[in-house]
Chain A
Amino acid sequence: MPEPVQPEDRPPERSAAERSADHAAIDRLSDELLPALIAKLGATGLGELEVREGAWRVRLRRPADGTGASGSRERRPGDRERAARGAGGTSTAAAHGHAGLTPVGPGRDGRDGREGAHDRETRDGRDSRDGAGRDAGRIVASSPAVGIFKPKPEARAGTKVRAGDRLGSVDMLGIPQEVVAPADGVVGASLVEAGDAVEYGQELILIEFASPTSEA
């Protein structure tokens, strides 16, 4: 989730004191600054916020609507089976993380390490199930809300779409929430039926032959 950004002009080898100063700074940034920034970003309609303090820089980014789901999901409302998390298309890597917010800066070592391991684990599991490679570039439009899914009739399988095109909506108490294509491509299989109850972040429609930016 966090993309490491080095404090400027930092020498490659650091002393224990420097490291501990870094850790203190990281702790302070994550404990004090991040919650405040998250609140600020949520309160405004801004897509991105960046704050610099000394050699440190923190950037929070909100993913575009519809890609807020962190990674791939196989879960339907009512399933007891726990969702495989975080192994979705690499294009959603930026959105991976709890809030779909992307803190930039030196991350907590332990946390990064573990998240990485988790990703590998689920991806390996997926590979052995579905056959190698094909799945890694899978792009899926996911649900922006909890409610009833209504596909857009024009967006049937085989239709060419651009990133941001509307594929349907999820009706939340009568208010339609747009389901949009996360990338350029061709509409593929629908993973849910019209009228199905869907949860927030649930995978709805596959997008195939996605453009190279998706690393498919």
Chain B
Amino acid sequence: MFRKVLIANRGEIALRVLRACRELGVESVVAYSEADRESLPVQLADEAICIGPADARRSYLSAPAVISAALVTGCDAIHPGYGFLSEDEGFAEVVAAHDLTFIGPPAAVLERFASKAGTRALLAAHGLPTIPGSDGMLRDEMHALDEAARIGYPVLIKPSAGGGGKGMRMVRTPRELEAALRVCRSEAKAAFGDDSLYLERWLDENRHVEVQVAIDRYGHGVHMGERDCSVQRRHQKILEEAPTPALSEAARTDLCERAIRAVVAAGYENIGTLEFLVDASGAFYFIEINCRIQVEHPVTEMLTGIDMVATQIRIAAGEPLGFSQADVIMRGHAIEFRINAEDPAHEFRPGAGLIERYHAPGGPGVRMDSHLFSGYEVPPFYDSLIGKLIVWGPDRATAIARGRVALDELVVDGLVTNVAIHQAMLANETFLEGRMTTNLLDRVGSAAFLAAAARS
């Protein structure tokens, strides 16, 4: 096991990793930017080190700053959290070159799964159905138009790097494609420093279902069930739940078993998530793999009782998984609500500022992962995620009931949050019947969605 881990992230995930390290008896150092000096992970840390200014490119995204901080504080491993440097195979390589361990897949594995088109081909060869997409990255407009014609409209333009809906657009005609390419390129460039794009066929009524896997260095792997992330706004997940109401138990087991077989065979290592689109008939298509801990990992923790972050750290340290598929027992139903500092009444405009009062809900089956506290000032420089409320119940109806109570109890005074959209979701018939697709919010528009909930 590691002696000391540098936590190279911020917010709730820095806190989550700090807690996992403590439970494992591993020392840790929280690396922070100047804007996060007063943040909760820094306050709770045994040791903390300022690595740069607020601008993430000179702090959380700066490989030299992060690695230098790990070296001068005597760490032997770096946990990248999610976002920032978490899926950067170049970073993982430099980390290894400094005799440090990157907590995630080894650089060689990250590299193998770095290209989304390449990963699709690799996993298709191992038996997973994949979504039709462009052959590699789009070279120019002509290439994009040819590929779109071959795949068939509508198509989704996606950036090769990153996630979170940035640089993504669904287009229905060649004309729309031409117009959107430029926008997507500049968005992707600004968000990830990489403007390469590719195309994927778009399924109009699709569900987003992902499978959580954990595979140790010795090729022993398990799946930990799936999560349904169909509640999205502009390709950005806002609510996740498990098990998915979209598939029968037999279909879920089939999906998860095929997923774990394929990634083990393809040589994946550490925890990871395989994302699928599921169409109205229940057919599923692999789209991409996320080689990191995900925002929505607590949903799986609630069902399995397995600490995903500790598992990730143990695998990176070279330990065997220590449990088998038969030990992964999934109980009940869990829902995660992403609490964002965004105003749903104004196009989800992100906000920042002083938290005048914060109160986290409680009770049976209620978990709040958040770095907020009364008097904390949310800086304007980073992601708008300010917390995750996770509820568990023996069945979906109980989880929903607990979700309603917990959302009502949550107090975040001082800035506008997206709690209203979650409350509206828990009053929406399509959601309550488990029939939501990824376009549920965007089709209606959030304003109309909120208004409908207010009437009911």
Contacts and interface: CB of A to CB of B under 8 A. Distances in A.
A98 B47 contact: no
Interface string A150-192: 0000000000000000000000110100000000000000000
Nearest to B414: A110
B53 A77 contact: no
Interface in A82-105: 82-83, 85, 98-100
B145 interface: no
A42 interface: yes
Interface in B30-65: 34-35, 37-38, 43, 46-47, 49-55, 57-59, 64-65
B143 interface: no
B398 interface: no
Interface string B171-204: 0000000000000000000100000000000000
B253 interface: no
Given A42-B55, A146-B68, A78 B47 contact: yes
B354 A98 contact: no
B379 interface: yes
B86 to A, nearest CB: 20
B55 A173 contact: no
A146 B65 contact: yes
B344 to A, nearest CB: 15
B72 A147 contact: yes
Contacts of B320: none
A148 B74 CA distance: 13
Contacts of B354: 110-111, 114
B65 A31 contact: no
A146 B50 contact: yes
- Which of A75, A172, A197: most chain B CB closer than 10 A? A172
A26 to B, nearest CB: 12
B381 A38 contact: yes
Contact of B51 (A69, A83, A199): A199
Nearest to B356: A110
Contacts of B351: 31
Contacts of A1: none
Contacts of A70: 34
B349 interface: yes
Contacts of A42: 55, 57-58
Interface residues of B, number: 35
Contacts of A38: 55, 381
B77 interface: no
Contacts of B58: 42
B68 A173 contact: yes
B379 A148 contact: no
Contacts of B445: none
B110 to A, nearest CB: 21
Given A38-B55, A80-B46, A111-B353, A147 B68 contact: yes
Interface in B347-406: 349-351, 353-354, 379-381
Interface residues of A, number: 38
Contacts of B38: 82, 85
Given A38-B381, A70-B34, A100 B68 contact: no
B85 to A, nearest CB: 15
Nearest to A82: B43
B49 A173 contact: no
A101 B393 CA distance: 47
Contacts of B54: 98-100
B55 A200 contact: no
Contacts of B49: 77-78, 146, 199
Contact of A173 (B67, B73, B350): B67
B289 interface: no
Nearest to A41: B55
A51 B43 CA distance: 37
Contacts of A197: 72-73
A77 B69 CA distance: 9
A68 B55 CA distance: 11
Contacts of B65: 145-146, 172, 200
Interface of B: 34-35, 37-38, 43, 46-47, 49-55, 57-59, 64-65, 67-69, 71-73, 98, 190, 349-351, 353-354, 379-381
- Pairs of residues from A and B, 7 with the lowest C-beta to C-beta distance, nearest first: A197-B72, A99-B54, A98-B35, A199-B50, A98-B54, A172-B68, A200-B50
Given A38-B381, A82-B43, 8 more contacts: A75-B50, A98-B380, A99-B53, A99-B381, A145-B65, A146-B50, A146-B69, A200-B50
11 contacts: A68-B34, A77-B72, A82-B37, A83-B37, A99-B54, A100-B34, A110-B354, A111-B354, A146-B68, A148-B72, A202-B50
